[in-house]
Structure 1
Amino acid sequence: MGPTRAPQPRGRRWLRALPAALILVVFALDFLTPRGMRVFPLLAAAPVLVAPWLSLAGTIATGGAALLAAVLLPLVRGRLPFGVDDIVPFSTFVTLTLLAAVVNRLLARERRQLRNTREVAEVLQRAVLPSPPGRIGPLTVAVRYEAAAREAAVGGDLYAIHPTSHGVRLMIADVRGKGLGAVRTVNALLGTFHEATRRAPDLPGVVRWLEERMQEVKRAEGGAGLETFATAVIAELSADGSTLCTANRGHPAPLLVHRGRARPLEPATPSLPLGLADLGVPDVPPDVPVDRYALPEGAVLVLFTDGVVEARDHRGVFYDPVPRLSRPLPPDPDHVLDALLGDLYRYTEEHLDDDVALLAVGLSRDAHDGPGGAPAVRPGEADGGRHPVRDPSGPSA
């Protein structure tokens, strides 16, 4: 399935009830205040207050309802609706309603332009990130891309997955910045990853190809130091889906979802993001730590960009995807990503401050060789024992 938006929670329905609530509050204040005091100015402000939120018809209807309330209030209190002294307030009332209508139209046009720009950005983003096939060998694949609510620029989030003779290699990354510069870097990384997956004999080789490409991008842009970089997770799944190798370059840890439990696959050795190798020892190629895990059958591997873990609720508390995915879920990547995004939108009240890219692969029950789906590589045997396979269900994960 392509990067389609997950079902989102419904909008803020309380905004529709705001005009009626405001008028009721004014009625209550009129009865609670002495007769000499007038609450007419509060009613006159009603259409202006709701103009940013309601439609043009709703704004004008609010003005009409407020005017009707202004006429009824004196009658209920035993006064004449309007006198000579009320001509100026009444004119002000009409003027404010017309002003609210103008403000409503201007804001609606701005929102429409922003929405169109964001849609163009999403189309461009999806053109840069074509959807992978839904199944690659023994793996089922799902991806999602969600554009930030506050931005209309193309982001630097990317994902890729390719079958090779070494297994299925995949990557998720987040390039610093937005706009055309980020798009150029995204294209450079995607092209390099595609080439490296075919030519590099191992995962560290793929990472070195990507690092060299990032250094070329930095030189071409005249960048230095911390100006240009990308966090990334580069991974390789064995041909039978039993073993996962990951190289984490300063990126949020992937999650392994299995039997109602989500486990973060934290790297044993932290590494700098891609593009920052020049900060190390000169002329010495940096080591590429690789973590290896034995994967159970029916598990789902979820990779995501930092837009997920940096999302906040109204109190400013960061979102944690582990509790949401630590529930009984079908071992289906599409279902897992929909559940995660639905919960993320509820948590943030439908407002993402950064783009979100997600890639999930499901290890089908027939992916493993041997009886009972036992892993083809036992812990400690991978690569001659030099890089022991970690059990993701254990405390080390």
Structure 2
Amino acid sequence: MAGRHAGGVMSGAAPGTGRGPLALLPPALIVGGVLANVVGPQPYTGLPLLAAAPLAACIVLTFRGAVVIAALSVIASVAVDLGLARPAAALLVDVADVLVISLIGLWLKRVMDSRDRTLTLTRDIAEAAQLAVLPQPPARVGPLLVATRYQGAHEGARIGGDFFAVQNTPYGVRLMMGDVRGHGLPAVSAMSVVVGAFRENAHHAPDLRELARRLDTAAERAESEEGEGFSEEFTTALLAQIPPDGDRVALLSRGHLPPYLVADGRVAPLIRSTPGTPLGAGLPGPDDAETDTFPLPPGASLLLTTDGVTEARDRRGVFYDPATGLAGRSFDEPQELVDTVVREVTAWSGGRLHDDMAVLAVTRPGGPPGPTAT
């Protein structure tokens, strides 16, 4: 969360701060304007440069810095006209040109700074909401090393319909990866309901089928209470359970993508049973989703993702395949695996994501060293 890995959150620079060498541009324009007026082939050659200096300052300096540059531009314009003994009318026109453009630039600067502060506050609130709904799990839960990442498709996005959860329970470590159909506040509301229900029931449900049933009940109850707008949302979810000894993983899918087993340079999707219906879909009859169990060798990692990973396309329209993209590499830490997935998906998409993605990886420590990730 790009400074925080779980959410892909990066804190931007404060609005209006100086931007390195660009901060020298406004005074350079003033100097250039003065020289052009004094030695230029035509009168008033430097006036556009003097007028441009305050506008450039509004882009690269703070508001106070821009005011100083505007004042210096006006003073420079007056000094040049007086030094060259130009008529008073010409002096007033020059000063009016520089002053009017300076005032317009400073007004725009004030508006942009206000919007930047509002955006920064909004991002901080969104990050606090994400921390509340999708808290970063500890680096170790039970016998497993854990890493997560949420990456929004749009710059500044902190939270959406993709989610994950990790809980240490009497039955072992239970994991959930899910994706709510839709976007915006209804998707966030549906996601928060399912995550909250998972936190409450992961400790008490005796098996994954019962846990899925309780999550489904919570999602349907929320739909009936929220009414129109919420009722069109449904949630795909993948539930996993790894016992305290960490030697196997039980999986149950409610319409979600299968996870991947990453071990000894090989990456294989764990598919056996047909996925059940999504949570909150409201379909009649019992859900027949089955629980499948797979071995989890020492040193192996379990990778769970949302469709923001598997539906990422390159320029030819080809989908990204983790089984191919990660093959031949070994990852000692789950964070290394998560970061590699996010980096590769971003590169595969040409540097721009078209959908949010959540990535969760857990690693059972131990096992022989393998080839390093590149």
Q: 2:55 — aligned with what?
A: 48
Q: 3-state SS of the aligned residue for 1:301?
A: strand
CA deviation after TM superposition for structure 1 residue 91, in Å: 2.3
CA deviation after TM superposition for structure 1 residue 68, in Å: 10
Q: Residue 331 of structure 1 aligns to which amino acid in structure 2?
A: D
Match of 2:147 among 142, 156, 159: 142
* 1:333-348 matched pairs, under 5 angstroms: 333-340=334-341
Q: 3-state SS of the aligned residue for 2:285?
A: coil
Q: 1:384 — aligned with what?
A: none
Deviations 1:283-339 (A, max 9, x none): 4223325555443431222324455567899x9999958477557454212333345
* 1:1-397 matched pairs, under 5 angstroms: 4-5=4-5, 40-41=47-48, 44-45=51-52, 47-48=54-55, 51-52=58-59, 54-56=61-63, 59=66, 85=90, 87-145=92-150, 149-151=155-157, 155-164=160-169, 166-175=171-180, 176-179=182-185, 184-223=189-228, 227-260=232-265, 262-265=267-270, 269=274, 272-278=277-283, 283-288=284-289, 290=291, 292-306=293-307, 320=320, 322=322, 325=326, 328=329, 330-340=331-341, 357-365=358-366
Structure 2: segments with no counterpart, 5+ residues: 369-374
- How many equivalent pairs are there? 354
Moved more, 323-332 or 231-240: 323-332
Change over 3 Å in CA distance of 1:364–1:115 after alignment to 2:
same
Structure 1: segments with no counterpart, 5+ residues: 75-79, 367-371, 373-397
Q: 1:381 — aligned with what?
A: none
Change over 3 Å in CA distance of 1:225–1:119 after alignment to 2:
closer
Q: 3-state SS of the aligned residue for 1:94?
A: helix
Q: 3-state SS of the aligned residue for 2:302?
A: strand
The answer to whether the 8 A contact 2:275-2:289 is kept is: no
Separation in structure 1 between the aligned mates of residue 296 and residue 166 of structure 2, nearest angstrom: 18
Separation in structure 2 between the aligned mates of residue 145 and residue 169 of structure 1, nearest angstrom: 19
Change over 3 Å in CA distance of 1:57–1:195 after alignment to 2:
closer
Q: Residue 166 of structure 2 aligns to which amino acid in structure 1?
A: I
CA deviation after TM superposition for structure 1 residue 185, in Å: 3.4
CA deviation after TM superposition for structure 1 residue 361, in Å: 0.8
CA deviation after TM superposition for structure 1 residue 124, in Å: 3.0
Change over 3 Å in CA distance of 1:8–1:110 after alignment to 2:
closer
Change over 3 Å in CA distance of 1:39–1:233 after alignment to 2:
farther
Q: Residue 335 of structure 1 aligns to which amino acid in structure 2?
A: E
Separation in structure 1 between the aligned mates of residue 142 and residue 275 of structure 2, nearest angstrom: 31
Change over 3 Å in CA distance of 1:260–1:95 after alignment to 2:
farther
Q: Which has the higher contact order (CA 8 A, sep 6+)?
A: 1
Separation in structure 1 between the aligned mates of residue 95 and residue 227 of structure 2, nearest angstrom: 63
CA deviation after TM superposition for structure 1 residue 270, in Å: 5.6
CA deviation after TM superposition for structure 1 residue 118, in Å: 2.0
Separation in structure 2 between the aligned mates of residue 264 and residue 43 of structure 1, nearest angstrom: 64
CA deviation after TM superposition for structure 1 residue 108, in Å: 1.9
CA RMSD of aligned residues (A): 5.4
The alignment-based identity, stated in percent, is 33
Separation in structure 2 between the aligned mates of residue 57 and residue 321 of structure 1, nearest angstrom: 52
CA deviation after TM superposition for structure 1 residue 170, in Å: 0.9
Q: 1:388 — aligned with what?
A: none
CA deviation after TM superposition for structure 1 residue 249, in Å: 3.8
How does the TM-score come out when normalised to structure 1? 0.64
